[in-house]
Amino acid sequence: MKKSSLIPLLTLAFTASGYSADKALLAIPGKVIIESKLDAAPGEPWKAAKGKWEAVDGVMRGAEKPEDKHGAVSRLPNKLADFVLEYEIKLEGAKASSLSINAPKGHLARINITQKTITIQKDDSDHEGPDKAVVFARFATDLQPGTWHKVRMEMVGDTLLGKVDDLVAWGSHEAFKQERVAPGFTVGGEFAFFRNFKISEATLNPEWESVKATLPKPGEKMDPAPAPAKKTEAK
């Protein structure tokens, strides 16, 4: 009998509240829309708008190109209804990386990852007002180079849930009811590595209200961003 080639489900553990790997959070995953180990040279259906994207050691690597004067960006053309999106990331020198979801006109939501912080937010759609970003949570962390981390975004109706390893946050906003498009990655600096990517259709977890009661309320977990490194005067 051949061994299954399916990628194992990413863990859903939330240790602070005792959730085991088979417990759902906001969403119940359904039919798989797209699934890839990201182990080949990037190509269709991925669209690299900025930066350098390549396959290195069996995973996808993204890096900013100085001449772009913009972070590296690679997206899928998919339009999404309610969904669960999962992948793994490893930072190897990159200043930041994000999982970004767009609206038909402008940005919609993201999970932003640096070595020192995890931020889960509704985006400012166009940076011109009156719309503004809404940060649901900012977690202080210490992601070590060379270590893989599991990322998960769930969106059902007007509610978003983001998860990086055991850090979980959620928030609701009217903007999330509109069409969601172009899921993708961004990278600031070099390098960030990606593997085990999957998007699934989703339905609301009937136990969501009980799960929600165990999680931080939107805006409740707001660890400060690290202060910029101080410059020392030459002696």
Mean pLDDT of 20-30: 80
Residue 119 is predicted with a pLDDT of 98
Contacts (Cβ under 8 Å, ≥6 apart) of 167: 118, 137, 139, 141
CA 204 to chain centroid: 19
pLDDT band at 39 (very low <50, low <70, confident <90, very high): very high
* Least confident window among 107-121, 122-136, 195-209: 122-136
- pLDDT > 70 in the chain, percent: 86
Question: Is residue 70's pLDDT more than 50?
Answer: yes
Mean pLDDT of 55-80: 96
Whether 218 maps to a domain, the answer reads no
Question: Is residue 233's pLDDT more than 70?
Answer: no
Residue pair 165/149 in contact (Cβ under 8 Å)? The answer is yes
Residue 152 is predicted with a pLDDT of 98
Residue 131 is predicted with a pLDDT of 82
Whether 185 maps to a domain, the answer reads yes
pLDDT (tens digit per residue) in 136-171: 999 999 999 999 999 999 999 999 999 999 999 999
Mean pLDDT of 16-21: 36
Structure tokens at 76: 């899928």
- pLDDT > 90 in the chain, percent: 80
Total domains, the chain = 1
Instruction: For residues 126 and 135, give the distance between their C-alpha atoms in angstroms, rounded to a whole number.
Output: 16
**Looking at residue 129, which CATH number applies to its domain?**
2.60.120.560
- Count of positions (residues) in the chain: 235
Whether 234 maps to a domain, the answer reads no
Residue 18 is predicted with a pLDDT of 34
Containing structural domain, residue 72: 29-206
Whether 133 maps to a domain, the answer reads yes
Mean pLDDT of 108-130: 91
What SS3 state is found at 218? coil
Residue with tokens 């202080």: 140
Whether 12 maps to a domain, the answer reads no
pLDDT (tens digit per residue) in 162-204: 999 999 999 999 999 999 999 999 999 999 999 999 999 999 9
Whether 3 maps to a domain, the answer reads no
pLDDT band at 229 (very low <50, low <70, confident <90, very high): low
Calculate the average pLDDT of the chain.
Answer: 88
Residue pair 157/204 in contact (Cβ under 8 Å)? The answer is yes
pLDDT band at 83 (very low <50, low <70, confident <90, very high): very high
Whether 160 maps to a domain, the answer reads yes
Whether 115 maps to a domain, the answer reads yes
